[in-house]
């Protein structure tokens, strides 16, 4: 897995602050760092949710005096697709847990000090990107693992119908997948779905095409 490129310059990013009020120091510092600042209440966050982009947006959520239970539940069940930073005045474990479950990957303490804002942005955004990369990597591996079943079935079927060994069957399927511009697992899944074992015509057709190209 290729390491995620670290983001150090936040020029052009958008900071969406979910809080009753935005501390002046936070607004000024974010602006100096090149971010556009938007202030929304938790009731309004769903309205901008569809416009969120992970490559440009970061959400800063005020955990004091506490978010509505329904809001936290909704964020936990459907995590925001962008970095989340928790704004906290109290380090009570319950509040930290609440923000973590809402997707926070960094925290910013109140009262806000300008010198701490960049560090929180750097940690929160880059930790989110690494977590997202790891989740995508695991999802891709799981998809490939499930797809191996289709590959094995297709190889066995090709061997049975065309009287060839496993390496030849794999090579035939691999080249057919390349021509279709599909991964071999996806190609075999579609091929097995469209061609039931009752007929050997498709196996023969693929095999004939490969012999003609040889």
Q: The domain 14-137: what is its CATH number? A: 3.40.50.2300
DSSP-assigned states of every residue in the chain? -PPPPPP---TT-EEEEESSS--HHHHHHHHHTT-EEEEE-HHHHHHHHTT--TTTEEEEEE-SS---HHHHHHHHHS--SS-EEEEES---HHHHHHHHHTTEEEEEESSP-HHHHHHHHHHHHHHHHHHHHHHHHHHHHHHHHHHHHHHHHHHHHHHHHHT--HHHHHHHHHHHHHHHTS-HHHHHHHHHHHS-TT--HHHHHHHHHHHHH-
Average pLDDT, the chain: 83
What is the third-level CATH fold of 143-213?
Answer: Arc Repressor Mutant, subunit A (1.10.10)
Shared fold status for 14-137 and 143-213? no
How do the domains of the chain map onto residue ranges?
14-137, 143-213
Could you tell me the pTM of the whole model? 0.70
Report whether pLDDT(71) > 70.
Answer: no
Closest of 120, 110, 85 to residue 99, by C-alpha:
85
| Mean per-residue pLDDT, 5-12 | 93
**Residue appearing with tokens 């007929």:** 199
pLDDT tens-digit series, residues 74-101: 666 667 889 999 998 877 887 888 888 8
For residue 15, name the pLDDT band (cuts at 50, 70, 90): very high
Contact criterion met (CB below 8 Å) for 85 and 124 = yes
Percentage of the chain surpassing pLDDT 90?
39
pLDDT higher than 80, residue 107: yes
> What is the dihedral sign for C-alpha 139, 140, 142, 146?
positive
Task: Provide φ and ψ at 13, rounded to 5°.
Answer: -75, 165
Q: What percent of the chain has pLDDT over 70?
A: 82
- How is residue 39 written in tokens? 């202030």
- The pLDDT assigned to 122 comes to 97
Mean pLDDT of the 177-201 span: 79
Q: CA 201, 202, 207, 209 torsion: positive or negative?
A: positive
Sign of CA dihedral 143, 144, 146, 151: positive
Q: Work out the angle at residue 212's Cα, subtended by the Cα atoms of residues 209 and 214, and round it to the nearest 5 degrees.
A: 110
pLDDT confidence of residue 57: 94
**pLDDT tens digits, 111-132:** 999 999 999 999 999 999 999 8
């Amino acid at each position: 897995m290729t390491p995620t490129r670290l983001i150090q310059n936040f020029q052009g990013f958008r900071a969406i602050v979910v809080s009753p009020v935005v501390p002046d120091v936070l607004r000024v510092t974010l602006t100096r760092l090149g971010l556009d600042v938007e202030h929304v209440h938790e009731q309004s966050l769903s309205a901008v949710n569809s416009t969120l982009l992970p490559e440009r947006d970061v959400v800063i959520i005020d955990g004091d005096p506490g978010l509505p239970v329904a809001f936290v539940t909704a964020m936990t069940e459907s995590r925001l697709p962008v970095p989340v930073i928790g704004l906290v005045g109290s380090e009570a474990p319950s509040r930290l847990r609440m923000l973590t479950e809402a997707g926070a990957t960094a925290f910013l303490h109140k009262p806000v000090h300008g010198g701490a804002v960049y560090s929180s942005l750097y940690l929160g955004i880059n930790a989110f990107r690494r977590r997202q990369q790891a989740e995508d990597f695991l999802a891709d591996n799981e998809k490939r693992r499930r797809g191996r079943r289709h590959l094995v079935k297709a190889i066995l079927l090709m061997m049975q119908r065309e009287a060839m060994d496993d390496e030849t069957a794999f090579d035939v399927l691999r080249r057919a997948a390349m021509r279709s511009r599909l991964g071999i697992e996806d190609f075999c899944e579609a091929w097995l779905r469209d061609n039931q074992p009752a007929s050997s015509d498709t196996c023969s057709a693929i095999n004939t095409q490969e012999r003609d190209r040889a």
